[in-house]
Protein backbone atom coordinates (compact mmCIF):
# COMPACT_ATOMS: atom_id res chain seq x y z
CA UNK A 1 0.00 0.00 0.00
CA UNK A 2 1.30 3.43 -0.94
CA UNK A 3 2.11 5.79 1.92
CA UNK A 4 3.18 8.74 -0.22
CA UNK A 5 3.09 9.49 -3.95
CA UNK A 6 4.99 12.28 -5.71
CA UNK A 7 4.70 13.04 -9.41
CA UNK A 8 7.37 15.10 -11.17
CA UNK A 9 5.71 16.93 -14.07
CA UNK A 10 6.06 19.82 -16.52
CA UNK A 11 3.50 22.28 -17.86
CA UNK A 12 3.29 20.67 -21.30
CA UNK A 13 3.26 16.97 -20.32
CA UNK A 14 0.15 15.17 -21.57
CA UNK A 15 1.17 11.87 -19.96
CA UNK A 16 1.49 13.63 -16.59
CA UNK A 17 -2.19 14.56 -16.75
CA UNK A 18 -3.03 10.96 -17.61
CA UNK A 19 -1.11 9.65 -14.56
CA UNK A 20 -2.88 12.18 -12.31
CA UNK A 21 -6.25 11.17 -13.74
CA UNK A 22 -5.46 7.47 -13.14
CA UNK A 23 -4.47 8.16 -9.52
CA UNK A 24 -7.60 10.27 -9.03
CA UNK A 25 -9.74 7.39 -10.33
CA UNK A 26 -7.99 5.06 -7.86
CA UNK A 27 -8.67 7.49 -4.99
CA UNK A 28 -4.96 8.08 -4.39
CA UNK A 29 -3.67 11.37 -3.02
CA UNK A 30 -0.35 12.69 -4.35
CA UNK A 31 1.96 15.67 -4.43
CA UNK A 32 2.92 17.31 -7.70
CA UNK A 33 6.37 18.77 -8.31
CA UNK A 34 6.21 20.90 -11.45
CA UNK A 35 9.78 21.03 -12.77
CA UNK A 36 9.00 24.12 -14.86
CA UNK A 37 8.13 25.95 -11.64
CA UNK A 38 10.81 24.26 -9.49
CA UNK A 39 13.84 23.70 -11.74
CA UNK A 40 16.02 23.26 -8.65
CA UNK A 41 14.39 19.81 -8.27
CA UNK A 42 15.45 18.58 -11.74
CA UNK A 43 18.53 16.86 -10.30
CA UNK A 44 16.39 15.07 -7.70
CA UNK A 45 14.04 13.76 -10.41
CA UNK A 46 17.02 12.73 -12.57
CA UNK A 47 18.60 10.76 -9.71
CA UNK A 48 15.35 9.11 -8.57
CA UNK A 49 14.66 7.91 -12.11
CA UNK A 50 18.18 6.57 -12.75
CA UNK A 51 18.84 9.22 -15.36
CA UNK A 52 15.53 9.51 -17.18
CA UNK A 53 15.14 12.75 -19.09
CA UNK A 54 11.37 12.54 -19.36
CA UNK A 55 8.30 13.05 -17.22
CA UNK A 56 6.13 11.96 -15.56
CA UNK A 57 8.30 10.42 -12.89
CA UNK A 58 6.06 8.91 -10.22
CA UNK A 59 7.69 8.05 -6.90
CA UNK A 60 5.66 5.74 -4.69
CA UNK A 61 6.84 5.39 -1.11
CA UNK A 62 5.48 2.24 0.50
CA UNK A 63 4.50 1.71 4.15
CA UNK A 64 7.95 0.17 4.80
CA UNK A 65 9.60 3.32 3.33
CA UNK A 66 10.87 1.55 0.20
CA UNK A 67 10.43 3.55 -2.99
CA UNK A 68 9.22 2.44 -6.38
CA UNK A 69 9.83 4.79 -9.29
CA UNK A 70 7.72 4.61 -12.45
CA UNK A 71 8.95 6.61 -15.43
CA UNK A 72 6.41 7.66 -18.03
CA UNK A 73 2.77 6.63 -18.37
CA UNK A 74 3.20 2.95 -17.62
CA UNK A 75 0.07 1.47 -16.05
CA UNK A 76 1.69 -1.98 -16.15
CA UNK A 77 4.13 -0.78 -13.48
CA UNK A 78 2.07 1.94 -11.83
CA UNK A 79 -1.01 -0.13 -10.92
CA UNK A 80 0.89 -2.91 -9.08
CA UNK A 81 3.11 -0.35 -7.34
CA UNK A 82 0.05 1.10 -5.63
CA UNK A 83 -0.94 -2.24 -4.10
pLDDT greater at residue 83 or residue 49: 49
Closest C-alpha to 37, from 13, 10, 6: 10
80 belongs to a structural domain: no
Provide the domain limits for residue 18.
2-72
With contact defined as beta carbons under 8 Å apart, do 70 and 77 qualify? Answer: yes
Average pLDDT, the chain: 95
pTM of the model: 0.94
Q: What is the pLDDT of residues 31-82, one digit of tens each?
A: 999 999 999 999 999 999 999 999 999 999 999 999 999 999 999 999 999 8
81 belongs to a structural domain: no
With contact defined as beta carbons under 8 Å apart, do 3 and 62 qualify? Answer: yes
The CATH number covering residue 46 comes to: 3.40.30.10
79 belongs to a structural domain: no
Amino acid sequence: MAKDITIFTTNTCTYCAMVKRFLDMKGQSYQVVNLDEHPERNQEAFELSDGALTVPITVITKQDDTKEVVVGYNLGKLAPALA
